[in-house]
Structure 1
């Protein structure tokens, strides 16, 4: 990956279910997809599987290929691999970013985000960077999760490197 997905952005979702991908995220998607899609735009892989997930996980071409390789390394036929394949591979969709930097949210993605049926006039999405991927939320859901997590009184810097110290 040339760069990481960093930051959080709020974007309007128009009546045609189009949302703009922030320029910083587009730069990563472009760098990770040198061949591009059929129309010449970078491809974005959107994972909408997982019942308890309140977001859609979004990967670049390179990130989606790495996720698939990690799943293929799991034991064939194991319940863990079968679940990972179902929720992370089967329940995903690829979209191409258009010349204006937008994507159209596919029906399954809209459904996962709670945008089934007609979109509200003020529909808004939150896009949150997570280094090798970003998450796409309905704005209200993202803000509610942030509010709930910000009450834990843990300094996040104390978490960084913890797994290295424990081993």
Structure 2
């Protein structure tokens, strides 16, 4: 399951938004009707996880944590505390609870961004402010890939 694309959408007055058709198609083909979403750890956006991807992420996190360690238990709790399950309705929409809209500054226009096996939802203006300038991006990716080749 891989999501690619940068698709703009509008939120209605009830905070519902249409999930882009290309993303819905991938979810349907993968038999993933349920989604889990939470605020991103590092950025001001929401992340939609297909249920199987979420379960894999939780298992990966659990495997690195000791349930008998107070700090690690708090980390796990913090990761799941703001996660919610949602379903895409018959019209292809999801309802984003208001508190999540406030968390990431979503008002009326959003961008759905396909990021590998997850979908990010950004306030339109916020996404533009987080992107790396093109020249810096090309230099960074070149450095990363050159380092990778040297390690092989």
Q: Which category of TM-score, normalised to the shorter sequence, fits these structures? A: 0.7 to 0.9
93, 103, 120: which one aligns with 1:102: 93
Contact 2:15 2:98 in 1 (8 A): no
CA-to-partner distance for each residue in 1:17-74, whole Å, 9 max, x for gaps?
111101121123223445xxxxxxx111111264x52111110011111111111111
1:72 maps onto 2:65 in alignment: no
1:55 maps onto 2:45 in alignment: yes
Unpaired runs of 5+ residues, structure 1, are 35-41
Question: Residues 160 and 136 from structure 1, CA distance in 2 versus in 1: closer, same or farther, beyond 3 angstroms?
Answer: farther
Secondary structure of the 1:54 match is coil
More helix by share: 2
* Alignment-derived partner of residue 39 in structure 1: none
CA-to-partner distance for each residue in 1:74-120, whole Å, 9 max, x for gaps?
1214545632x2343221111110111111111332122224xxx5x
CA-to-partner distance for each residue in 1:109-134, whole Å, 9 max, x for gaps?
2122224xxx5xxx101111111111
| Structure 2: distance between partners of 1:161 and 1:61 | 35
Secondary structure of the 2:4 match is coil
45, 70, 74: which one aligns with 1:82: 74
Query: What do you get for the CA RMSD once the two structures are aligned?
Result: 2.5
Secondary structure of the 2:122 match is strand
If the length of structure 2 is used for normalisation, what is the TM-score?
0.82
More strand by share: 2
The number of residue pairs the alignment matches comes to: 149
Contact 1:32 1:62 in 2 (8 A): no
| Structure 2: distance between partners of 1:58 and 1:126 | 13
Unpaired runs of 5+ residues, structure 2, are none
